[in-house]
């Protein structure tokens, strides 16, 4: 019997066991909950002024219900924004949140116009406890953490919202989870023309049964680390000073292992195929992140992974640590680590990415898309363009002399309506006069007056003394041209540039190397058609306008990425975002006394 106990003790010392929470945690909102309103007789004549106010009227502890919505009532606009507070300090700091729901007990439904009641995040600062007038400011909140449409709203029972942003649930000593509630009409700037609000009971309502807002969290208390599976790890730290203004959620961080940073992994591994014998985790050392391997060259001591997952946030106010665990004796981690165009690798990219092209060949005639949308590129011909070394792993080298290009099939994922972002790396090798095409969606000659968009380098240095600069055109089916922006920076051959172009409503911005380089306002009606996206060329009936140079890391999103995203991506792709720590090893100490074998 003694020998059996000793063996059990050794196993527990070597393998750190997972401890599961006994049951879901249910937490009720504190009496600090409430709402902030604006409009009505105090400036409610105009929708924009009510929505864009930076302060509001605090309603906290005065009523036993909370109002949320955005409505027109008796010819005046009203907006109500809710705030809930939950003590989640009993959730261990190393817990993995498996699921969570928010339940609101309906009091009334005034939604003649139905809307989505949306959970948003402003933590750690917003909303304040107690509420302040400035907590009304919509700039303090972002994201969509789950919603319910008021067409299903019930009174005298709970309305349940599944929380989709699980990282918003705070953990550990002193943790308070703050949730903001807003109408989708308020968020999306949709002016209502009737009543559109709901009410639910607050934490002050305790007279008839239990009707307070409640948060139910299912979690697993995680392992302390993964040293039971892997023998070594390296800590990676994000520089908070490279993250502007607000945290970035589900942001793809690019990790570069070389002969001078993280070089120990190449001593541990034997071959290129060992790239999955590893795991990336959050700072807790156990919650795994997804990673897409773009390059793993053991003989050259070079490896590139893109790392992220849903809910993972990169902080703008504190350093963000994460870990790379590795062990040549470990099994392939196929759930979380994958090559380009795999399920695991695709999970790195948030749902707003419709195309992520590392400019890696699938064959000599095709270029891979990392997302599940299969927006792969088809080259003009084999090796036209040819895969070559780029800024981040491999790239495509376009030769203007052979008019190299590739096309991306027309897709609902890569459209020209709504907000969107194009981003890519270029290194021009030469400039032709006037037009050096980068990316375009051409007009349909049978139906369009103009092309949806054209992104190119314009060089008129030999004509009107204008040096090579970026130029972005967007068509308008009525007038022909709805947007015409020039970048401010003179571009040079032989230099890498990271370019980002965003349009948010009518506001268009060009970023160069993570900084604003130009902007203007779109005017007109967007052009949409079934034309393919052309990369590396623009053509008319009588002329070809090719690009000559390298292109790398082309990405398209159906949202307008903000300035902080552009800056952080530039630093990530240029490998100036991370600090690489020294190798750490797991040490098992067992103390034996009075044991006879």
pLDDT of 593 reads: 30
Do 423 and 533 sit in the same domain of this protein?
yes
Mean per-residue pLDDT, 261-278: 97
* Same-domain check for residues 256 and 180: no
Given pLDDT bands bounded at 50, 70 and 90, which one contains residue 5? very low
In this structure, the answer to whether residues 237 and 171 fall within a common structural domain is no
The three state secondary structure string of 498-534 is: EEEEEEECCEEEEEECCEEEEEEECCCCECCCCCCEE
The pLDDT value given to residue 223:
58
Q: Domain range for residue 169?
A: 25-221
| Mean pLDDT lowest among 18-22, 33-37, 111-115, 416-420 | 18-22
Residue 391 has pLDDT above 70, yes or no: yes
Token pair listed for 402: 């052979």
Does residue 531 register a pLDDT over 70?
yes
Taking the complete model, does pTM exceed 0.75, yes or no? no
Give the CATH number for residue 107: 2.60.120
Q: Tell me whether residue 500 is in a domain.
A: yes
pLDDT tens per residue, range 322-345 = 999 999 999 999 999 999 999 999
Share of the chain above pLDDT 90, in %: 74
Cα–Cα distance measured from residue 509 to residue 483, given in angstroms and rounded to the nearest whole number? 11
Two tokens, residue 571: 């630093």
Helix (H) or strand (E) holding 186: helix 184-187
Determine what percent of the chain falls in helix, strand and coil, rounding each to the nearest 5.
10, 40, 45
Sign of CA dihedral 207, 209, 214, 218: positive
- 342 part of a folded domain: yes
Q: Are 160 and 236 within one domain?
A: no
Residue 9 belongs to a domain? no
CB-based contact 33:177 (threshold 8 Å) = no
Domain count, the chain: 3
pLDDT at 463: 63
Neighbours of 3 (CB within 10 A): 10
Instruction: Report the distance separating Cα 138 and Cα 187, nearest Å.
Output: 8
* pLDDT at res. 43: 64
Q: Residues of 54-80 as b/e, b for ≥16 C-beta within 10 angstroms?
A: eebebbbeebbbbbbbbbbbeebbbbb
Backbone angles phi, psi at 230, to 5 degrees: -125, 145
Residue that is last in its domain, among 221, 244, 274: 221
Return the exposure string of 413-433: e unless at least 16 CB atoms fall within 10 Å of the residue's CB, then b. bbbbeeebbbbbbbbbeebee
290 and 427 fall within a common domain = no
Residue 594 confidence (pLDDT):
35
pLDDT for position 7: 37
Q: How confident is the model at residue 448 (pLDDT cuts 50, 70, 90)?
A: low
pLDDT for res 503: 96
pLDDT at residue number 204: 80
554 Rama sector, left if φ>0, alpha if ψ -120 to 50, beta otherwise: beta
Q: Nearest-CA neighbor of 281 among 294, 271, 291, 296? A: 291
Residue 550 lies inside a defined structural domain of this protein: yes
Judge whether 594 lies within some domain. no
Q: What is the pLDDT of residues 21-38, one digit of tens each?
A: 445 899 999 989 999 999
Q: Domain for residue 61, yes or no?
A: yes
CA distance 289 to 309: 6
- Looking at the structure, tell me whether residues 293 and 397 fall in a common domain: no
pLDDT at 592: 29
Place of tokens 């004549």: 45
Q: What is the pLDDT of residue 186?
A: 95
Q: What is the CATH number of the domain that holds 534?
A: 2.60.120.200
* 64 or 159, higher pLDDT: 159
* Lowest mean per-residue pLDDT among 54-63, 132-141, 166-175: 54-63
Tens digits of residue pLDDT in 341-380: 999 999 999 999 999 999 999 999 999 999 999 999 999 9
DSSP class of residue 272? Answer: G
pLDDT in tens, 91-105: 988 788 989 999 999
Q: Is the pLDDT of residue 107 over 80?
A: yes
Clarify whether residues 297 and 397 are in a common domain.
no
Asked if the model's pLDDT at residue 484 lies above 60, the reply is yes
- Whether 7 maps to a domain, the answer reads no
Residues 497-530: pLDDT tens digits? 999 999 999 999 999 999 999 999 999 988 888 8
Higher pLDDT, 40 or 209: 40
Pairing, β 337-339 against β 288-297 = parallel
Mark whether 333 and 374 lie in a shared domain: no
Mean pLDDT over each residue of the chain, to the nearest integer: 89
Asked if 470 and 454 count as a contact pair (C-beta separation under 8 A), the reply is: no
Same domain, 100 and 148: yes
Indicate if the pLDDT at residue 221 is higher than 70: yes
Domain boundary among 200, 221, 242: 221
* Same domain, yes or no: 257 and 288: yes
pLDDT of residue 206: 61
pLDDT for residue 3 is more than 50: no
Q: Which tokens is 300 given?
A: 């050259």
The reported pLDDT for the residue numbered 15 is 37
Q: Note the pLDDT of residue 479.
A: 83
Q: How many CA atoms lie less than 13 Å away from 127 in the CB half-sphere? A: 33
| Same domain assignment for residues 312 and 373 | no
The model's pLDDT over 551-590, given as tens digits with 9 standing for 90+, comes to 999 999 999 999 999 999 999 999 999 999 999 997 533 3
* Half-sphere exposure at residue 111, Cβ-oriented, CA atoms within 13 angstroms: 28
| pLDDT value for 359 | 97
Distance spanning both ends of the chain, measured CA to CA: 11
Boundary residue ending a domain (165, 187, 221): 221
pLDDT digits (tens, 9 = 90+) for 191-204: 999 999 999 999 88
| Within-domain flag for 18 | no
Give backbone dihedrals phi and psi of 301, rounded to 5 degrees, phi first.
55, 55
Is the pLDDT score of 139 beyond 50? yes
């Amino acid at each position: 019997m003694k020998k059996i106990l000793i063996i059990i003790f050794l196993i527990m010392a070597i393998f750190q066991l997972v401890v599961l929470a006994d049951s879901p945690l249910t937490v009720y909102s504190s009496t600090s909950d409430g709402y902030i309103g604006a409009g009505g007789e105090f400036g409610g004549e105009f929708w924009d002024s009510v929505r864009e106010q930076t302060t509001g009227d605090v309603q906290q502890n005065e009523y036993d219900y909370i109002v949320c919505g955005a409505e027109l009532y008796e010819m005046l606009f009203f907006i109500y924004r809710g705030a809930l507070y939950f003590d989640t300090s009993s959730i261990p700091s190393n817990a993995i949140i498996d699921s969570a729901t928010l339940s609101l007990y309906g009091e009334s439904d005034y939604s003649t116009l139905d809307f989505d009641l949306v959970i948003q995040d402003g933590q750690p600062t917003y909303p304040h406890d107690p509420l302040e007038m400035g907590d009304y400011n919509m700039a303090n909140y972002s994201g969509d953490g789950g919603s319910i449409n008021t067409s299903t709203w019930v009174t005298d029972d709970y309305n349940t919202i599944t929380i989709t942003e699980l990282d918003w649930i705070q953990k550990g000593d002193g943790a308070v989870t703050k949730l903001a509630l807003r109408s989708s009409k308020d968020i999306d700037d949709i002016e209502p023309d009737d009543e559109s609000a709901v009410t639910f009971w607050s934490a002050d309502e305790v007279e008839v049964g239990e009707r307070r807002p409640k948060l139910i969290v299912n979690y697993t208390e995680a392992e302390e680390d993964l040293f039971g599976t892997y023998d070594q790890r390296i800590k990676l730290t994000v520089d908070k000073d490279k993250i502007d203004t607000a945290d970035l959620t589900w942001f793809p961080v690019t990790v570069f292992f070389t002969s001078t940073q993280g070089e120990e992994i190449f001593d541990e591994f034997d071959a290129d195929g060992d790239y999955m014998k590893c795991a990336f985790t959050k700072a807790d050392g156990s919650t795994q992140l997804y990673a897409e391997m773009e390059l793993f060259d053991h003989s050259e001591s070079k490896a590139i992974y893109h790392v992220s997952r849903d809910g993972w946030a990169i902080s703008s106010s504190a350093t963000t640590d994460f870990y790379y665990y590795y062990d040549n004796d470990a099994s392939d981690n196929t759930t979380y680590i994958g090559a380009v165009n795999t399920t695991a690798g695709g999970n790195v990219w948030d749902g707003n990415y419709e195309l992520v092209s590392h400019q890696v060949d699938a064959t000599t005639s095709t270029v891979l898309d990392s997302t599940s949308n299969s927006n792969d590129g088809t080259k003009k011909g084999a090796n036209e363009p040819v895969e070559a070394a780029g800024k981040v792993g491999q790239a495509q080298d376009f030769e203007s002399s052979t008019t190299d290009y590739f096309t991306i099939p027309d897709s609902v994922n890569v459209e020209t309506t709504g907000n969107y972002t194009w981003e890519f790396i270029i290194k021009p090798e030469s400039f032709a006069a006037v037009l050096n095409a980068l990316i375009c969606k051409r007009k349909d000659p049978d139906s369009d007056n103009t092309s949806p968009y054209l992104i190119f380098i314009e060089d008129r240095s030999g004509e009107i003394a204008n040096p090579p600069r970026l130029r972005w055109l967007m068509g308008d089916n009525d007038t022909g041209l709805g947007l015409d922006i020039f970048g401010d920076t003179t571009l040079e051959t032989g230099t890498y540039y990271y370019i980002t172009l965003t349009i948010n409503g009518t506001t268009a911005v060009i970023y160069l190397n993570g900084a604003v380089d130009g902007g203007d306002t779109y005017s007109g009606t967007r052009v949409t058609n079934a034309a393919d996206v052309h990369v590396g060329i623009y053509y008319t009936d009588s002329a070809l306008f090719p690009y000559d140079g390298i292109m790398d890391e082309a990405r398209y999103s159906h949202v307008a990425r903000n300035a902080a995203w552009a800056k952080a991506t530039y630093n990530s792709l240029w490998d100036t975002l991370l600090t690489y720590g020294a190798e750490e090893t797991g040490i098992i100490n067992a103390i034996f006394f009075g044991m006879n074998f």
